[in-house]
Amino acid sequence: LQAVCRLRLNKLGIFCLISAAALLFLLRTEMPLLGRGRGVSIKELLSVSIELCERAGQQILRHRAAAKINKSSAQISDSAPPVTKADLASNAELVFGFHKSFPWLHVVSEESQSAPVDYRALALASHRHPDLEPLRHDFFVNSNDVLVWVDPLDGTQEFTEHLLQYVSVQVCVAYRGTPLLGVLHFPFANKTYWAWRNSRVSDSLKEQLNLPIVLDKHVLKSDSHIKGAADKSHRRRRVLISRSHRGAQLNSTARKLFPNESVDLLSAAGAGYKLLLLSKGLADNYLHAGPIKKWDLCAGQAILEAMGGRLNSLRSMGTDSTSSGHLHRINYDNAEQYKHSDGFIAFAPSPSPTPKRPPTKDPRLSQ
């Protein structure tokens, strides 16, 4: 009888321990108890994002090699921008990869189609990326507050024109509308850059940028009556612009934003490419005067802001770069609103201390 009582007590103790562990897990992950959403580990989400980006890059390389052999099979759509088989293969790797790892998350992609894939045979991405093992901390968020934005092939037009230095795969995890995680993978340079806002950036972002830097310069001269415009010692402002969006409207916007400065407009392709250059201080600003899709912007914005830069909608700006109008942030919480129509201005990280911003509601997103 004594042995039976000890056995019952042991079973009760084990049950209590398991129950306590489950309760701690629920509290730790902020998992709702009424079935509204699920807890998601940010560390695991970043691990999966990095691996899927690199796997998608391998698909792009594979299709690029195949296109050299059979060029007629590379492009499947004459839309602007065009769609290639590499776009669809990369999209399948990303979208199905996320669905397999986190089936409850909503993924928004530039491509509505994917290459055929055997979902059961698709390898499950690792939830423990080696680059993140040194990180001791983690955060868990409600899946309802998360939206994943992916661009399977940023720079498709340049991909078809063999300007491969601009081509990237992009994944961004937005939390409550704000970019939290950003991953940029450049398959033809075999380089990956990632950032976890207010936590850590990849070692590749701390090193000298190991990418081909190809920029076309257009000099936008200051008006001769502006004081200091003719001063040769005055440093010119370097403003990145899109290769496909040069014109009078952009020149006019640049003059309004920087009326007292001489400006060099440096054109390049790929929003991710330009935001990476800006994050590394290789330019002062990135100006885009027209509409842009949010999957082109989100990952690069996450990296830029993790490095200390900032990106604002042009709705926030007055007639010059020091305007203190209402700050209008680009919001990434609605999959249906995938286009930002007001243009934006991005600023490189400042070498000097910047004024503190008002605290946000969630400490994970404050800077």
Assess contact for 305 and 330: CB atoms under 8 A. Answer: no
CA 66, 70, 75, 76 dihedral sign is negative
Of 334, 358, 329, which is closest to residue 345 (Cα–Cα)? 329
| Helices 294-306 and 271-279: angle between axes, nearest 10 degrees | 10
> Cα(8)–Cα(17) distance, rounded to whole angstroms?
14
CA 154, 160, 165, 169 dihedral sign is positive
Task: Point out the annotated binding site for Mg(2+).
Answer: 110, 151, 153-154, 296
Enumerate residues 6+ apart whose C-beta is below 8 A from 111. Answer: 83, 87, 88, 91, 152
In the block, residue with structure tokens 């830029």: 304
**What are residue 82's DSSP bridge partners?**
none
Assess contact for 166 and 270: CB atoms under 8 A. Answer: yes
Burial, 281: exposed, middle or buried (Cβ in 10 Å; 0-12, 13-18, 19+)? middle
Assess contact for 174 and 300: CB atoms under 8 A. Answer: no
Question: Measured between alpha carbons, how far is residue 198 from residues 16, 26, 263, 303 in Å?
Answer: 37, 24, 32, 10
Assess contact for 266 and 215: CB atoms under 8 A. Answer: yes
> Cα(62)–Cα(39) distance, rounded to whole angstroms?
36
Task: Point out the annotated binding site.
Answer: 110, 151, 153-154, 296
Identify each DSSP E strand in the chain by its residue range: 39-41, 75-77, 83-84, 106-109, 140-142, 146-154, 168-175, 178-186, 191-196, 200-201, 216-220, 237-242, 263-268, 285-288, 292-293, 310-313, 339-340, 344-347
> What is the rounded radius of gyration, in angstroms, for the C-alpha atoms of the chain?
24
> Cα(47)–Cα(128) distance, rounded to whole angstroms?
6
Question: Measured between alpha carbons, how far is residue 242 from residues 215, 221, 271 in Å?
Answer: 10, 19, 8
